[in-house]
Amino acid sequence: MTNDLDLQSLILESATRILRDSCDPQTVNVAFGDGWKEPLWRDLEESGLTLCWIAEDKGGAGVPLAVGFEVLFVAGRFAIPVPLSETMIAGWLLSAADIPVPEGSITLSSQPSRQSVNVDASGKLSGTVTAVPFAGEADYLAVCAPGEGGPIIALAAMQDCTPATKSSFSGDPKGDVGLDGVIPVASAPMPFEMNEEALLMFGAAARSRQIAGALQAILDLSVSYARERVAFGRPIGKFQAVQHNLARLAGEVAAANAASGSACDTITRAGSFDETVFLEAASAKIRAGEAAGEGAAIAHQVFGAIGFTQEHVLHRYTRRLWGWRDDFGSESEWAEKLGRRVVDAGADELWPMLAAR
Amino acid sequence: MSSNAEQTLQFDQIRLPPEAQALREEVRTFLAEEVAAGTFDPHSGGQGDDFDRAFSRRVGARGWIGMTWPKKYGGHERTFLERYVLTEEFRIANAPTRGHFIADRQSGPILMKYANEDICMDVLPRICRGECCFCIGMSEPGSGSDLFAARTKAEKTEGGWRINGTKLWTSGAHHADYMIGLFRTSPPTKENRRHGLTQFLVDMTLPGITVNPVPQMTGSLDFNEVVLEDVFIPDSHMLGDVDMAWTQATSELAYERSGPERFLETFYVLVGLARVLEDNPDTRGAEGLGRLVAQLHTLRRMSVSVNGMLQAGKEPVLEGSIVKDLGTAWEQALPARARDLAAFANPQSANIPSFRKQLEHATLIAPKLTIQGGTTEILRGIIARGLGLR
């Protein structure tokens, strides 16, 4: 038996190797067409990463939630351009609801609390699922809908749905998916006593971890570049103004890392999606989102004109960072909710809430 | 030097252990009793730096000064995370800790590392009892951030050293029983301009020491000029190796930089803002408050993590510097942001007048927050070095 830490490092090494081989941002950036996508997805599937949160007796890798969140950090470091996190989250929910998880990629709405989807008596779906990452591209869609005995989760084949893919910041497709008349492949009550709000918290934590990984990558890129690029007779990293910008970038990277790590850790240990998880998930998404904006701006400033070109790899990260800010609640949406909770609880409860852990 | 570029910033997941949270309850009870007795007012800022020797003695009697230190020096061998909880509760309450906090945070640890056993046995137990106040003698008229420009001289003489020069901006020198002073014992060398400085333990009652107040813009009398004229310090009071202070100064910085006092100095403004917004906040107020809370929560998670890593024997020096850089910038910006967010609050709110008072105080002290204990510019230089850029 391997212990958890050994398991974690094995899985993260494997994830890093696959992504380095099949999803190197520089290679992908200059590739013609999408020919890299299929082998990448195949490698991810074969490694078990796509189904890593599914229990072993249900055909998955049975990886602990904590380790899966770290896989998402690694995915962020490679500006992941396929629905890995979406498939992981959907697979986790579906399998826990005892729905057999099919091969292929699965996506879900990045605005789970804002959906107006209905299920009729025959099980037919209607309505539209909005803000779905990889909307036209994924093979399946996991849908949350209100059921008679509480929220349900349904699995629909994308080919039965009507995806209207819009462009997104990232260059990855994202859009609304029409469900009218769609008969789901399967449906079941939502597991873990989860509802749309809880799914929003889980998604926020997961996306924040991905943001933190991408931020770490642009810090690494920016520092390397500042050490190599010579201007005015010295590497630009020797100039105090550039050093201070990079120090600020490191601060943003650190904040996103700490906030997202804490939220994921809290979810891993929590028995339910309670007030504690809310504070952690909200803070992670707010702070990681802010860091994404600040960090991307600093990295672009360090790289100058070259970083603004199609040819350069930086935009693969920064465009996704900007896009990921909007998934599973933007900074402003979370902040307004958090602010109202603080006020409702009363000013005297603010410190006890923060100091509880 | 190898590249740090591939090194991930590390924040271990640290949760405060049950004994630390149990201590928190004890501390809250103690502070509530002190407030009830009229020792201090928890709702107004600016008392965190206040000097109250009797209060410090009571804190010492509870075993809450030098609490991580060895028992033989009067300490209690408790964990950094327990000290962490204590520090944040005292700071949140605006308790008057000036009489012991500097000694507890940095002077005591320096003595333990560099002073001889006799001095440790003499001074450290007194610090733990809350009877011994320290100040830090670093800045000079021509030497602030540029520590290595210090000119106050220590000249070797029979059995000791003769000190001449002036220290400036020395917080709390007028109360202090001791100073840990940084003095020039040799000229800098060509290869190393940091060479030639030595740390000494200075008894503030020695003949030749004059402390002159330098009033601050807030009206506070915290700053001092300390003039040293032919002050004799015995050999036994030299700390560490002669001329080598620069190697000593860096090792404990993670402790000094990453504590909760580096982002909680203006916390009362945030509570005040929540109070002002209490009935039916507008969207902007709620959103702004939410962001501030998320940012503070994140800073605290970072700070707890760094302290937990220190407890585990790691050296998160880069992470510690980042906590202070982000933390001090945040606590400095807080008053202005709270002012904006309260602008459209119900003007009839009974909480407005006290909030305005808090705001005024916090706005006035805000400029010092990114200067004291290492300026933002110095910190960012240190972070850049940690990134492999210098």
Q: pLDDT tens, A152-202? A: 999 999 999 999 977 788 889 999 999 999 999 999 999 988 888 999 999
* CB-CB under 8 Å, A257 with B3: no
B371 or A357: which carries more pLDDT confidence?
B371
Neighbours of A78 (CB within 10 A): 24
pLDDT at A116: 84
Domain ranges of chain B: 18-132, 136-244, 253-386
pLDDT at B146: 87
pLDDT at B4: 40
In 3-state terms chain B splits into helix, strand, coil percentages (rounded to 5) of 45, 15, 40
* CB-CB under 8 Å, B294 with A286: yes
pLDDT at B41: 87
Assigned fold of B136-244: Butyryl-CoA Dehydrogenase, subunit A; domain 2 (2.40.110)
Range(s) within chain A of domains with CATH label 1.20.140.10: 196-354
What homologous superfamily does CATH list for A196-354? Butyryl-CoA Dehydrogenase, subunit A, domain 3 (1.20.140.10)
Is residue A24 classed exposed, middle or buried when 0-12, 13-18 and 19+ CB atoms within 10 A define those classes?
middle
Assigned fold of B18-132: Butyryl-Coa Dehydrogenase, subunit A; domain 1 (1.10.540)
pLDDT at B52: 93
Q: Which of A280, A337, A355 lies nearest to residue B88, judging by beta carbons?
A: A355
Range(s) within chain A of domains with CATH label 2.40.110.10: 100-193
Average pLDDT rounded to a whole number, residues A49-75: 95
* CB-CB under 8 Å, B298 with A342: no
* CB-CB under 8 Å, A290 with B381: no
- pLDDT of A302 above 50: yes
Q: Which of B184, B170, B230, B179 is nearest to B205 (CA)?
A: B179
pLDDT at A32: 87
pLDDT at B145: 86
- pLDDT of A310 above 70: yes
Q: DSSP code of B198? A: E
Q: Which residues of chain B have pLDDT under 70?
A: 1-7, 45-49, 249-255
Contacts of B304 in chain A (CB under 8 A): 357
Contacts of B295 in chain A (CB under 8 A): 283, 286-287, 290
At position A190, the amino acid (one-letter code) is M
Q: Which CATH class is domain A100-193?
A: mainly beta
Contacts of A243 in chain B (CB under 8 A): 380-381, 384, 389-390
Phi–psi pair at A299, nearest 5 degrees = -60, -45
ipTM over 0.85: yes
Q: Identify the closest residue of chain A to B22 by CA–CA distance.
A: A356
Tokens of B213: 């107040």
Chain A to chain B Cβ contacts (< 8 Å) = 173
Of the pLDDT bands very low, low, confident and very high (cuts 50, 70, 90), residue A56 is: very high
Tokens of A123: 């099980």
Average pLDDT rounded to a whole number, residues A328-341: 98
pLDDT at A2: 53
pLDDT at B249: 66
pLDDT at B2: 36
pLDDT at B5: 41
* CB-CB under 8 Å, B24 with A354: no
Task: Find the range with the poorest average confidence among A64-68, A126-130, B141-145, B325-329.
Answer: B141-145
Q: Which of A257, A331, A340 lies nearest to residue B281, judging by beta carbons?
A: A340
pLDDT at A114: 80
pLDDT at A35: 92
| Measured distance CA(A74)–CA(A60) in Å, rounded | 20
pLDDT at A91: 97
CA atoms within 13 A on the CB side of B188: 11
Which CATH code fits B253-386?
Answer: 1.20.140.10
pLDDT at B250: 62
